[in-house]
Amino acid sequence: MSSFPAVRGRRLRATPALRRLVAETRLHPADLVLPVFVREGISDEAPIASMPGVSHHSLESLKPALARAAEAGIGGVMLFGVPLDEKKDGAGTSATDPEGILNAATRAAVAEVGDALVVQTDLCLDEFTDHGHCGVLGAGGEVDNDATLERYRDMAVVQAEAGSQLIAPSGMMDGQVAAIRDALDSHGFADRAILAYAAKYASAFYGPFREAVQSSLSGDRRTYQMDNGNRREGLREVGLDLEEGADIVMVKPAMSYLDVLADVAATSDVPVWAYQISGEYSMMQAAAANGWIDLDAASYESVLGIKRAGADAILTYWAVDLAERLTGRSAPERSIR
């Protein structure tokens, strides 16, 4: 007579080799994209206080950081430019200056690692405006959607001219993907792909990022970023971006919106990415600094969870660290208890 119980799930958890063999979800370094902040007016790497382990880079310190990322085998880098305060204005004009910090950094990155990594550029005005919003303002102080699209068109062309291989509009303006696609195509850049921040939610977890880009924002972005409670609307926004020609769609943030990510992954016929944002990263860094969690284990588990929910690739500040650990050990559960 068979002993009870006949079905024993633990059989397939008995050894590291068995667990590895039957794993349903796996992380690979190529799944990971590293966000990188390049700041004007500094001569060396400068740590960001609210994001331990993350720094502002100068154009010179950017090069070894890119080389390390390429050596780790990650999929790409997402560049953010941080201009001098005195170069910020209402229209974010330094965003379309070919010699502006983001465009200069893009050229440097393409020259350094363009054959090894996908060099990607964030397309948004918040870093470049003196009011900190993602678009230009109308007479009443509101963000003018259609006037902003004209700025986005110009930004896309300048970024493409600088060598960006994947242009990523993150401002959540209506029609931004269509406007950028038209601008790129009409200027001879039909080969450049668009990563749409398609379902981007207003979030309390963006705080450290605001320091990282030295945002001048007063108020909030709730008239254009999505409401936290809206799940179906996330699918609607993704659908609109797909109709407009998005090559990849993204859900941001990741942690609190895994249901939206899973919905999108179940229906999208293009790659689906997610962004593990600054607050998610900084919370775990702080907990680890206090000895409350094992950072290696928690960072791996958090990114694996995003992959399990359906992300084909993940933007994470741990991209290089995770990639180095994935390739430097025999099993990804090295430090998991």
Q: Annotated catalytic sites, by residue?
A: 200, 252
* pLDDT at res. 85: 85
**Residue 325 in domain:** no
Q: How far is Cα 296 from Cα 72, in angstroms, rounded to an integer?
A: 16
Radius of gyration in angstroms for the set of CA atoms belonging to the chain, rounded to a whole number: 21
Is 328 a domain residue?
no
Note whether residue 4 is domain-resident.
no
Q: Is residue 2 part of a domain?
A: no
Residue type, 161: E
Indicate the number of domains in the chain: 1
Separation between Cα atoms, residue 117 and residue 319, nearest integer Å:
13
Domain that holds residue 192: 27-320
Q: Decide if 326 contacts 23 (C-beta within 8 A).
A: no
Tokens of 92: 């974010």
Task: Write out the two tokens for 197.
Answer: 């921040």
- 187 belongs to a structural domain: yes
- pLDDT by 10s per residue, the chain, length 337: 567 888 999 999 999 999 999 999 999 999 999 999 999 999 999 999 999 999 999 999 999 999 999 999 999 999 999 999 889 999 999 999 999 999 999 999 999 999 999 999 999 998 899 887 888 899 888 889 999 999 999 999 999 999 999 999 999 999 999 999 999 999 999 999 999 999 999 998 887 867 776 666 666 776 878 899 999 999 999 999 999 999 999 999 999 999 999 999 999 999 999 999 999 999 999 999 999 999 999 999 999 999 999 999 999 999 999 999 999 843 344 443 3
Distance linking the first and last C-alpha atoms of the chain: 36
Whole-angstrom CA distances from 151 to 75, 97, 154, 170, 203 are 29, 12, 5, 13, 25
The full DSSP string for 244-306 is TT-SEEEEESSGGGHHHHHHHHHH-SS-EEEE--HHHHHHHHHHHHTTSS-HHHHHHHHHHHH
CATH number, domain containing residue 145: 3.20.20.70
* Burial of 15 (C-beta count, 10 Å sphere; 0-12/13-18/19+): exposed
- Whether residue 10 lies inside any domain: the answer is no
Q: Please tell me whether residue 53 adopts helix, strand or coil conformation.
A: coil
Surface-to-core class of residue 137, CB atoms within 10 Å of its CB (0-12 exposed, 13-18 middle, 19+ buried): middle
Say what the pLDDT of residue 1 is.
56
- 314 within domain boundaries: yes
What pLDDT shows up at residue 141?
85
Distance between CA atoms of residues 291 and 294, nearest Å: 7
**C-beta separation of 96 from 89 below 8 A:** no
Asked if residue 331 is part of any domain, the answer here is no
CA separation for the pair 183, 180 (Å, rounded): 5
Element (H, E) at 236: helix 232-243
CA distances from 126 to 175, 210, 258 (A): 18, 10, 26
For residue 73, what pLDDT is reported?
A: 97
